[in-house]
Every structure is written in C-alpha cells, then in structure tokens.
Structure 1
Amino acid sequence: VGVPALIVLIMFAPRLFKFAPVEVSKAAPQIEKRIFNIKSPPADVGRNESTTLYKFGCDSDLDYKIEEETKGSNGVYHIRLKVTRAKANLTLPITIWLSQIVPDKRSQIEDGHAKICERVYVDAHIPAKEACARALERTYYGQSTDRQRAIDEALNQAREEIKQQYIDAVESRVKDVYVIYDFYAPNWQEPTEVLVDKALQEYEVGKPRKLSTTSDTTPTEKTDGTK
C-alpha cells in the first residue's frame, strides 16, 4: 500500500471502523477464600459458620446526543438527551468466608455457591447487552444550575437503569439456582461440580418454583448477594 493510500485510510478510519452502539466488556471473576474467627466474625458474615459474598458489578460508558437544552430565568439548565452508544463493563468479585471450625462438607457447599455465580457470569453479557439496548431507546432528563451536572444527572439515570436491569437478571438466576442446589446439597455425595451442573440444568427446565416450596422445611440462608 502506497503512502497516499495510507494517508487516506487514516483520515477515513473513524468512519470505516465505527464502534458498535452496544458493547460489553467482561473482566474475569475474582475469587477469594478467607478464614475468620467464629467468635468475632466480619459484619457481612454475621452468625453464619460460612457464607459466600458476591457482587455483580456493572459500570457503563455512554456516548450521548443532546436533543433539547434550555436555561430558565432562574439559571437552571434543563437537558434532554439520548444515549447513542453504551458499553457495559462487568465485574464479579466473590469472597468465600469460612470459620476455622467449619466442616469440610460446608466448605464444599460454599465452593458450589461460588461456582454457580461463575457459571451464571459466563452468559452475563446477554442481559447486559439487552439492558444497554433498552437505554438506547429511551430519553433521559437532567437539571442543574451547572450545565455539566445537568448532563451528568441524565447520564447517571441511564447508567443506573442499565445496572439495575442487569443485576436483576443475573441475581434472580443465581438465587433460583441456589434454591435447587441447596435442596440437594446436604445429602449430596458426588463432586460439587456435578451438583452445580444438575442445579443449572433443572433451573433451565423450570424446577426452581417446585423446589422452592418443597425446600421450605430445610434451613435457608441469605440470598441478597450472600450465602
């Protein structure tokens, strides 16, 4: 390729290689196992012998187009904008907390909880993309005496919507799979990975609702991001 052709290519590169309107960047899950003193447990653990804490993170990078902008006599900016491009950046930190007296069986169960989170995270780009796509169809508003703050207010609404829709999707799946997994786990004799597979498979065919009523007689643990 000659020099003139390279110059032309560089000049028109932004038009030739446009970013997709919806993107997802997914970091590898980060898993940490920690031991605690049962007499002085961390606040997040409470009175549990063990627990698995996880957080499905979703921060968004947004491009936008201002559709309407006014400034009132009181000096307040009113901004109406549309998101033109959304990129969701996903993370999943997991911490398995085990007391120094926890039995091996309980430790294995917590390993399964972490694996379920990982398995759900494999397909997490799907609800993230769907949430970003919905944001592109909506209009967002912001107001402030500072113009940039008004813009940021509108963009933060979009970011929060994307984040909440994503979290609702992945966490509801995790919690339903947990119901199945915890139903079998106390008497399970095969490797943990086998039970994780079984729980996910039964979830796909609609078993969570049936098992959630059956397992009412078994102890349940926190499901708001913890196990």
Structure 2
Amino acid sequence: MPQTNIAQRKYNEIRKRAFENFINIRLFHFFIQNPAIPEPNIDELIKLSIQKEMYDLYGRCHQMPSSLVVPHYPHIKIGELDKLYKNWYDKNTQHTSALEKVFQEQHFFSKEEFIKFYGADEIDRSCTYCKVLESEIEELAEHGWIRTKRHLTRGRTMELDRKDPFLPYTKDNVALCCYWCNNAKTDEFSINEFAGIGNAMTRIWIDRLRKIDKEKKMI
C-alpha cells in the first residue's frame, strides 16, 4: 500500500486554514451588511452565499488601517470589525461543529480526494509555477544549492497555494507549489501574473542543476 503520511499532514494543515477562512468571510459578510444585529448565529452563517466581490472586498480590508471605514459600507470601520470578530469567537468557538460539518461536506475536499490530489509519499511532485521536482530540490540541497535557512521545516515537499488568493480553498483553486514560489507569489499575484516569475525561477533551477552535473563530471 502506498504511504500517504505527508498528504495527510498537509490535509490537516490546509483544512484548518480553509475552515478559518470559511468562517471569517461569512462573519465579514454578515457584520458589514447587518449593523443593527449584534451577531449571527451558526445557522445564519451556514446559509450565507458569498460572491466573488465579497472575497475581493474582504482581502482589500486586510490591507487597510483600523481607522478607515469599509469601502462602500461607511457605517463600519475596520477596527470595529476586529472587535466583532473577537466577540463572536469568544462566544462561539466551542459551538462551531455544525458549521464545520457543512464546510467539510459541501465546501472542501474529502480526505480521500485530497490525498488523491496531493499524491502518495512515493510520488515525485512538481511545482505548478516553476516545475521543479521534489527530487531536484533534494539534489540541490545535497550539493549546497539550497540556501534558505528554513529548509529544515519548509521546502522539501510541495506546498499548497490558492491560485486566486481571495477565493476559498477548493479543488479548482488549489495548486501544488514549491516553497520558493509560494513565498514569492503570496497573496499579491494572480496565477497569470506570476507565470513570468515562475518561468524565471525555472531557468535558475535548471542552471543550478547543470552546475551540479558539471561538478559530478569533474570528480
């Protein structure tokens, strides 16, 4: 049987982040559109349908000072939203199982789907953006061509990137990517905008791998 330890670990990591995003975008939607209601209940959050424009606004607000108002919603400031989030979590953290169940069933990979998507431990995964293989990263590290100090904790296996950083973690919006591309793309660039950067990184990896081959031939 193929081993899936890495995929299961990645699944648990991304599922936690995705669920937090799932709740927060719905709280954001509710708070800016229902200023007279103190807080939503779980059933109300579950029923909310979130449009692309709301994800874009949510992402934009993350970059704004707390003293400014939410664009197009002048009745509420960014700082007030932060207080509303905290108040809701303080009261409801222990009562989100119903919301988590809906999230798991309707808005996220099943564990089996995710493991199939990410692949078993034996698979030599590649980065969507720069195409580097995990085996190539290992070879680069062995020959001193990986220089990040974080390589003990990140970089040895492919990470998970949202192609559109302001849309949720869904099957169509998640890509395998190396640590370096994930670190460079962040939430700033769309997948199309990042293509040129990925191609440039491909050339760097190829150049380093060629240097390793040259070193081997000289031994």
Q: TM-score range by the shorter chain?
A: under 0.3
Structure ID, larger Rg: 1
TM-score by length of 1: 0.26
Structure 1 or 2: more helix by fraction? 2
TM-score by length of 2: 0.27
Structure 1 or 2: more strand by fraction? 1
